[in-house]
A and B are shown apart, each in its own frame.
Chain A
Amino acid sequence: MSVLETQAQKVRDSAKKLLADATAQTVIGYADEGVDGLCVPVFITDVKDVGRLVWNRRSVPNLASYLIGRKGKTAIVAKPCDARAVVNLIVENQIKRDDVHIIGMDCPGMTDAAGAALHACETCQVNTSPVFDERIENAEVKPVSPEKRDAERGLDENLARFTKEMEKCILCFSCRQACYGCYCQTCFMDRGVPDWHPESPDMGAKMLYHLGRAMHLAGRCVECGACENACASGVDVRYLIREVTGFVKELYGYDTGLSLEDQPAMLTYQPDDREVGFLGGEAHG
């Protein structure tokens, strides 16, 4: 039995136990019932359905956002990035720690239908869950590679890259729908008053949407790559968010979803915060 199949069996055993002794009313996990082997989310409430749960290299979706608004205790099969998302939802008071049971999976990285590693998984920095109720180990999961940041570019190159990515975008908002962090009841892009969303999907609208969303996700992105996986136009949706999240980490020493105690960087302050980019202050590096 492969290591992944052993992990999957442990998930099923665990789910059976959690449901049998009523520790959890629902187990959210993956079922191999999608197209091209892509796993789909499945909500198991009955012990007899536990067999539907699987775990493989195509367990791609981030399930964390399904926890918001649920009643009763829910167990979730969480990849490390999903576990970080769950932690961040707890820290942001969207869900209660006591209402969730985290089944933390050691993750070998997910692949696309052709078997190539997903973009987000190639640069993964956290491949074991930072917070969990039970951990399902995988001895084959290797230590992460050192963090790779995009090289600093000149302003012209930045603009060229931004324009290139934005030209592909059709403003379908799939990235927002897929994102665990986009849980606003009404997104600013859906509001009519004020009318943030211009009528035509032109460069201005795309700039407003992508920069606005990047601001909302600064210091909140868990790098699960759900946005770029959801994108039908092949936009590198995450690159702006990756930059600001790296910047927040560098400036305020905050890394998203690694601890239940840390205050999110944008929800707190220090009186002596650096004034980078202010008039007469230090310049951006």
Chain B
Amino acid sequence: MSQTNTADFTPTIVAFLCNWCSYAGADLAGTGRQQYPPSIRVVRVPCSGRINPIYILKALVDGADGVMVSGCHPGDCHYLAGNYYARRRFTVLKKLLTVAGVNPDRVHFTWVSASEGARFAQVVTDVTDKVRALGESEYKSRRGGERA
């Protein structure tokens, strides 16, 4: 499975961040010179409710070691209710992934507001640690071959 399960392994984590809170939170982490591991690949989405669960599956199947999803705190959605719908979807998706044998520590959901730059850095650090502990994704090898 994984030969890279060492401290210097930097996992590839796809991070879906909502435009209004978490992306701005990531921005604040940057302008505030917060340090966090260079492991995330950010995909900016309008709202956490815009994230089709298939995006998360696709990221895993195409070889991401982990997926992180972050949106506005419940009650603070720019579109009023998008993150409430997303919350149900993510709850069910994580259960489904567990049933299908995907380690739940590969997929993380959380809320980060635009003012929580330090928290964003902390979340990325935590998520990276958890995914690093699991090593390289076992789903990489599930693909028949490399895709262009």
Interface presence of B144 (CB below 8 A): yes
For A190-224 the 0/1 string (1 means CB < 8 A from B) is 00000010111011110110111011001100000
A276-B142 in contact given A211-B57, A240-B96 (Cβ < 8 Å): no
For A237-264 the 0/1 string (1 means CB < 8 A from B) is 0001001100110011000000000000
Measured in the bound complex, the distance between the Cα atoms of B75 and A203 in whole Å is 39
Decide: A276 and B94 in contact? CB cutoff 8 A: yes
Decide: A211 and B96 in contact? CB cutoff 8 A: yes
Decide: B81 and A198 in contact? CB cutoff 8 A: no
For B107-148 the 0/1 string (1 means CB < 8 A from A) is 011100000000000010011000000000001001111010
Decide: B142 and A269 in contact? CB cutoff 8 A: no
Chain A residues in 8 Å Cβ range of B54: 188, 196, 208, 212, 215
* B interface: dominant SS: helix
Within the complex, which residue of A155, A204, A212 is in contact with B53, where a contact is CB–CB below 8 Å? A212
- For B84, B101, B109, B144, which residue has the most chain A Cβ atoms within 10 angstroms? B101
Interface presence of B33 (CB below 8 A): no
Within the complex, which residue of A159, A218, A284 is in contact with B101, where a contact is CB–CB below 8 Å? A159
Chain B residues in 8 Å Cβ range of A247: 92, 95
Measured in the bound complex, the distance between the Cα atoms of B100 and A212 in whole Å is 12
* A interface: dominant SS: helix
- For B57, B60, B102, which residue has the most chain A Cβ atoms within 10 angstroms? B57
A158-B61 in contact given A200-B145, A215-B93, A280-B110 (Cβ < 8 Å): no
Measured in the bound complex, the distance between the Cα atoms of B142 and A162 in whole Å is 13
Measured in the bound complex, the distance between the Cα atoms of B111 and A273 in whole Å is 14
A265-B142 in contact given A243-B99, A277-B94 (Cβ < 8 Å): no
Chain B residues in 8 Å Cβ range of A198: 61, 143-144, 147
Interface size class, chain A = 35 or more
Chain A residues in 8 Å Cβ range of B62: 204
A244-B101 in contact given A198-B144, A207-B61, A279-B110 (Cβ < 8 Å): no
Interface presence of A3 (CB below 8 A): no
Measured in the bound complex, the distance between the Cα atoms of B43 and A244 in whole Å is 27
Residues of chain B at interface, number, CB under 8 A: 42
Chain B contacts with A in 13-41, Cβ cutoff 8 A: none
Within the complex, which residue of A200, A203, A284 is in contact with B95, where a contact is CB–CB below 8 Å? A284
Decide: B96 and A244 in contact? CB cutoff 8 A: yes
Interface presence of A49 (CB below 8 A): no
Decide: A266 and B89 in contact? CB cutoff 8 A: yes
Measured in the bound complex, the distance between the Cα atoms of B97 and A182 in whole Å is 21
- For B85, B139, B142, which residue has the most chain A Cβ atoms within 10 angstroms? B142
For A263-285 the 0/1 string (1 means CB < 8 A from B) is 00110011101111111100010
For B69-107 the 0/1 string (1 means CB < 8 A from A) is 000001100000100110111111111111111111000
Chain B residues in 8 Å Cβ range of A214: 96
Decide: A278 and B110 in contact? CB cutoff 8 A: yes
Q: Looking at the assembled complex, report how far the CB atom of B139 sits from the nearest CB atom of chain A, in whole angstroms.
A: 7
- For A243, A247, A273, A279, which residue has the most chain B Cβ atoms within 10 angstroms? A279
Decide: B104 and A273 in contact? CB cutoff 8 A: no
Given A211-B96, A266-B92, 16 new contacts (CB under 8 A): A158-B99, A162-B101, A198-B144, A198-B147, A203-B143, A207-B142, A243-B95, A243-B99, A244-B92, A251-B91, A252-B88, A266-B85, A266-B88, A266-B89, A273-B88, A284-B94
Could you give 17 example pairs across A and B, Cβ below 8 Å?
A162-B101, A202-B143, A203-B143, A207-B60, A208-B57, A211-B57, A211-B100, A215-B96, A240-B96, A244-B95, A244-B96, A269-B87, A274-B91, A275-B87, A276-B91, A276-B95, A279-B123
**A interface vs B, CB < 8 Å?**
155-163, 188, 196, 198-200, 202-205, 207-208, 210-212, 214-215, 218-219, 240, 243-244, 247-248, 251-252, 265-266, 269-271, 273-280, 284
